[in-house]
Amino acid sequence: MRSVFPCDKMAYVDNAKELVVKQMKRRKRIFLVLAIIWMLVISAFSSRTGDLSATDSGRIGRLIGQVLVPGFEDWSEEKQDQFAEKVDYPVRKTAHATEYAILGMLLVGAYTDKEKGRFVRLLIPWFIGTIYAATDEIHQLFVPGRSGQISDVCLDSIGVLIGVSLLWVITEIKWKKEKRSL
């Protein structure tokens, strides 16, 4: 038979809180490891020479043509290359924003907990991601055929903000549902 004494309820609540804290610490560690791995992936892409990066972009441009443009395979090699060149800029910029949006989500997962204020839960991950974007662009100054662009730092920062905001909204919704179920 269960005891109904208040001290037993308090012990149960304390144990539940302790379990939640352990789960949150584990989650934050996992997100931190994933964020570091993702930063290494970004750095690896940035370490590719300008020629290799252009070749990668050309392949992606051709893939986009094959998937989205009816009859693309029937086009001449020259026309396919022209198409790939036309989509090169938007492909590169979309890649920048996307890779940093993913980083933003991972940083929110590594940093966020219920104890921190909403503004801080957004600001710190965004700031870390933006600083990383700046250091990545500086790194590219030393890679043959590459350049560091302030405009890319701005785009990357917007990507981080999108990722941070997206995961923050998801987290807020989840926490509100948990709160209602209590």
Confidence of residue 117 (pLDDT cuts 50, 70, 90): confident
Listed by start position, the domains of the chain span: 6-49+88-181
Residues 131, 104: contact at Cβ < 8 Å? no
| pLDDT reported for residue 135 | 97
Residue-wise pLDDT for 78-115, tens only, equals 999 999 999 999 988 999 999 999 999 999 999 877 67
First to last CA, the chain: 24
Question: pTM for the complete prediction?
Answer: 0.81
66: CB partners within 8 A, 6+ apart? 72, 73
According to DSSP H, which parts of the chain are helical? 6-47, 50-68, 77-111, 118-140, 150-181
